[in-house]
Structure 1
Amino acid sequence: MTISWGRRLIASFVVAFVVAIIAHAAMIVTYFIGSLGTSTAPSGTLIVAVSNYYSLTSVFAFAVLFIAAIIGAFDRWWTALIAGVVAAVLAPVVGTLVTATSGGSPFSGGLIGAVFGTLLGGNLLYAVVVATLTATFGRWLFRIVESMRSRFEPDRKIALVRIPATNLAEGVVTHIEREAIDAELADKQWDAYVAALSEAGWQTVEVTSADRLADSVFVEDTAIVFGDTAVIALSGAEERRPEAPGTEAALRAQGLRLERIEAPGTLDGGDVLKVGETVYVGRGGRTNAEGIRQLRALVAPLGYTVVAVPVTKALHLKTAVTALPDGTVIGYEPLVDSVSVFERFLPVPEAHGTAVVVLSDDTVLMSSSAPKSVALVEDLGYRVVQVDISEFEKLEGCVTCLSIRIR
């Protein structure tokens, strides 16, 4: 279990406890206020009696919400609402049933019917409070707690990778002529790529293989990570959409909070370039305007500004440009629609020299098929780790496409 999973456990406990306590307190306050209008003055005895009556109900509500949060119910508002409704119904029913039978009432169909009837009576308020809180305040609190990092938690450097499919040669090709793929060489190149990440201090985590999904090795297209939040993409190439669930499971296992692009929006991770707090998004064949709008709405609360960039000469934005650690955007000008959109742009002399994976503040990973571009970047003071990915470049892939980096 990773440290981020620890944050998920803590967030699950905190949210389940807070929702259950608030609902419990709401019932005490309600009965207390209700007694003010009676001939019997409210007292500590009433508070204790109400608290005892709802104690088991609140315990069950806590348990249901805790389990739901761990398995990801708070990642989306509608699954949080479902979890809240389940807890709102199940906890009062089970709690009241246990309380009744332990008090001497025989277990029978009549008792069960009477217990369910309380959902329209005394337990109705409790159910409403739990369902409403879970889908609103509860989900908000879960996201806040889960995103908090302890000062004792080390900086993470995790790279998700996915082994090439056996039918890699059938991958989609859009802007270049198809070439024969050497599958055995591709496997060796992928192994070397993963080894390079590991040697640079990155923990590599394999996404479950998708042996019949030809493009699945290009795992970057399936999600984009913004700190502790991951946005699950929805590719404009429908044949690639089945790749996303495997990536989603791997990101969930790392404890990231998940958001997603929904149809009719489309977006590929290869179209998203992060430079500081600016997020450049390529509008091209795989990413549409609605996908960009959705991404903007998702990351604006995280402090990012989305800038849309036209892409007509390459498969993805990051086929044409990427960025060095200092924020300088580098690219092969014949593939770039508009250079002026970038604050700082540096042209490189080779098409395969556009892509860099930032390994650290002074080290980048580049393709060995672009020696002039490598020399240019080295001359800027960076250490360049070179890898041969020629078989993947035949499928419009680059060094960024083969991993999702989580920092």
Structure 2
Amino acid sequence: MFNNVIVRVPSKSISEGITSAHEGKPIYEVALVQHENYVSALTKCGVEVTVLEPKEEFPDSCFVEDVALCTSKCAIITRPGAESRREEAQLEDMHQALSKFYENIEKIEEPGTIEAGDIMMVGDHYYIGLSERTNQEGANQMISILEKYGLSGETVSLDEMLHLKTGLAYLENNNLLVAGEFKNKEAFDKFNKVEVELNEAYGANCIWVNDKVIVPEGYPNVQSKIENLGYEVLTVDTSEFRKIDGGLSCLSLRF
């Protein structure tokens, strides 16, 4: 169960965020409303939400998931692979927010790079995607820190997706949403895999929060498959964040 969530309000500079999508620039005013609806959905899941102020100098800073991993034992400050996001991981208000909840705060050091969008938690075990943003050194450091606290981790190679959680979502109870290259990854064979079609691949980035599942709006097949597993589904429009390669999980730290 999750008790707390940290989010950051999008900045007006969001239109300058890093993107590989070809869907135009996000509209700030619309992104702001979508973010408010996202926070509202989280609140319905029974968590306390800490809302951090926008940071104009960091267009991608609403994607707080990438700058820290929050575990049951410690928080780990990452070192993002995207150079323009490195300083985000050092923002004082994020460190202050984490220190309210964690006595133990660790951090990844150079030359390691890792973004927590590449990390999927399954109980006390963490799957770490090796991607353009997360290198082997970063993964090794992360696994070493996890093991220090009695947790564990393993790496999974990525060939197509930006982040591990771009195409995966663990919904607890052994249920795993899988899209694209992850459908046949041996590492996930033990799960009850729920396959997401290519045309709804973006919808695979859902988040389980206390027996409810928040699903991006506009992906009816994904929504139906999750409802058929017995979960209550909440939908949130994240279309503006999709324009800069962001999804539901990217927008919060949940612990």
Same fold (TM over 0.5): yes
C-alpha contact 1:368 1:387 (8 A) present in aligned 2: yes
Q: Which residue number corresponds to residue 235 of structure 1?
A: 80
Q: Which structure: larger Rg?
A: 1
C-alpha contact 2:146 2:152 (8 A) present in aligned 1: yes
C-alpha contact 1:332 1:353 (8 A) present in aligned 2: no
CA distance in 1, matches of 2:89, 2:46: 26
C-alpha contact 2:2 2:254 (8 A) present in aligned 1: no
CA distance in 1, matches of 2:157, 2:184: 7
CA distance in 1, matches of 2:111, 2:23: 30
Q: CA deviation at 1:329?
A: 1.9
Aligned-residue sequence identity (percent) comes to 33
SS at match of 2:249: coil
Residue 348 in structure 1 maps to residue 196 in structure 2: yes
* Equivalent pairs, count: 249
The amino acid that maps onto 1:193 is Y
C-alpha contact 2:25 2:244 (8 A) present in aligned 1: no
C-alpha contact 1:313 1:336 (8 A) present in aligned 2: no
Of Structure 1 and Structure 2, the greater strand share is in 2
Match for 2:113 among 246, 266, 272? 266
CA distance in 1, matches of 2:184, 2:114: 20
The amino acid that maps onto 1:236 is G
Give the root-mean-square deviation of aligned CA atoms.
Answer: 1.6
C-alpha contact 2:67 2:89 (8 A) present in aligned 1: yes
Residue 357 in structure 1 maps to residue 207 in structure 2: yes
SS at match of 1:336: helix
CA distance in 2, matches of 1:212, 1:222: 16
Please, what TM-score do these two structures have when normalized by structure 1? 0.59
Q: Which residue number corresponds to residue 172 of structure 1?
A: 18
Q: Which residue number corresponds to residue 314 of structure 1?
A: 161
CA distance in 2, matches of 1:182, 1:294: 37
Residue 186 in structure 1 maps to residue 31 in structure 2: yes
1:3-402 equivalent positions in 2, closer than 5 A: 157-174=3-20, 176-246=21-91, 247-333=94-180, 335-336=181-182, 338-342=184-188, 343-344=190-191, 345-349=193-197, 350-360=200-210, 362-402=211-251
CA distance in 2, matches of 1:256, 1:332: 37
The amino acid that maps onto 1:285 is E
Q: Which residue number corresponds to residue 68 of structure 1?
A: none
The amino acid that maps onto 1:271 is D
Q: CA deviation at 1:182?
A: 1.6
Of Structure 1 and Structure 2, the greater helix share is in 1
Please, what TM-score do these two structures have when normalized by structure 2? 0.92
The amino acid that maps onto 2:233 is V
1:50-102 superposed Cα distances (whole Å, 9 cap, x missing partner): xxxxxxxxxxxxxxxxxxxxxxxxxxxxxxxxxxxxxxxxxxxxxxxxxxxxx
The amino acid that maps onto 1:177 is H
SS at match of 2:160: coil
The amino acid that maps onto 2:204 is T
CA distance in 2, matches of 1:163, 1:256: 25
Q: Which residue number corresponds to residue 126 of structure 1?
A: none
Q: CA deviation at 1:243?
A: 1.1
Q: CA deviation at 1:166?
A: 0.9
Q: CA deviation at 1:208?
A: 3.8
CA distance in 2, matches of 1:271, 1:337: 17
SS at match of 1:266: coil
The farther-off stretch of 389-398 and 205-214 is 205-214
Structure with more relative contact order (C-alpha pairs < 8 Å, separation 6 or more) = 2
CA distance in 2, matches of 1:391, 1:292: 30
C-alpha contact 1:267 1:288 (8 A) present in aligned 2: yes
